[in-house]
Amino acid sequence: MAEVVDVRARVLAANEEAAAQLRRDFSESGALVLNLISSPGSGKTTLLEATVRALGGRLRLAGIEGDIATERDADRLRALGIPAVQILTGGACHLDARQVRKVIDEAHLPGFDILFIENVGNLICPTSYDLGEDFKVALVSVTEGDDKPFKYPAIFARAGVTVVTKVDLLPHVTFDLAAVKEQLASLNPTGKVVLTSARTGEGIPDWCALLEQSLAVKRKAMA
């Protein structure tokens, strides 16, 4: 057992080193970088599509998509006119910083103001791996049930922002929004919560304003 723990420690240490270099590079470029984490089907890519439609004319956006197979999510972002690169993990349940470093070096992404890293869909594995991001974004859809924050506390405690998606379906599902907000406040008192529906557009302006404000704060701190 000690050997297994030691191997994991070495893997995480190597990841931290790569993440630190990524963070330095992102700071030098003044780019805001987000690591989106959620269970499959929560609406990560759909949220990004709505974000591109809202901000694409004002900011330079780019995406890195993590999946076990297919380039479908990257294709969806490319169709909206932004550069997007797919990382296929071949079975691994998360992205790591070395993968992100490699794909950025090889893809030669053009300059960007905001980089969205859409992690492999699950609420456990991606949580421990720093990708050099400015903050993690956790998503939970109203169709998943209102017990997710306390069932998966690590990600919701670490996420700078939690986005509740598909809120247009609230009248049709059993989802105690007040209880979810209480869980999130308990796990992460300083975390922000945004309610969105990519289908109706509800909350998308608030989400985009949060991104623009975060970018401005980062660049002001660098000045």
Domain ranges in the chain are 2-222
pLDDT tens, residue by residue, 149-190: 999 999 999 999 999 999 999 999 999 999 999 999 999 999
Structure confidence at residue 139 (pLDDT):
98
> What mean pLDDT comes out for the span 60-86?
97
How large is the angle between the packed helices 44-55 and 204-222, nearest 10 degrees?
A: 70
Residue 4 has pLDDT above 70, yes or no: no
Structure confidence at residue 117 (pLDDT):
98
Buried b (16+ CB within 10 A) or exposed e, 172-196: eeebeeeebbebbeebbeebbbbbb
| 9, burial (CB in 10 Å: exposed 0-12, middle 13-18, buried 19+) | exposed
* pLDDT confidence band for 222 (50 / 70 / 90): confident
Write down the mean pLDDT value for the chain.
Answer: 95
User: Which H or E run includes 165?
Assistant: strand 161-165
DSSP 110: P
Structure confidence at residue 7 (pLDDT):
62
Residue 10 has pLDDT above 90, yes or no: no
> What mean pLDDT comes out for the span 92-101?
97
pLDDT tens, residue by residue, 126-140: 999 999 999 999 999
d(CA 115, CA 169): 29
2-222: CATH number: 3.40.50.300
* pLDDT confidence band for 223 (50 / 70 / 90): confident
Residue 5 has pLDDT above 80, yes or no: no
How large a percentage of the chain has pLDDT more than 70?
A: 97
* pLDDT confidence band for 11 (50 / 70 / 90): confident
Structure confidence at residue 8 (pLDDT):
67
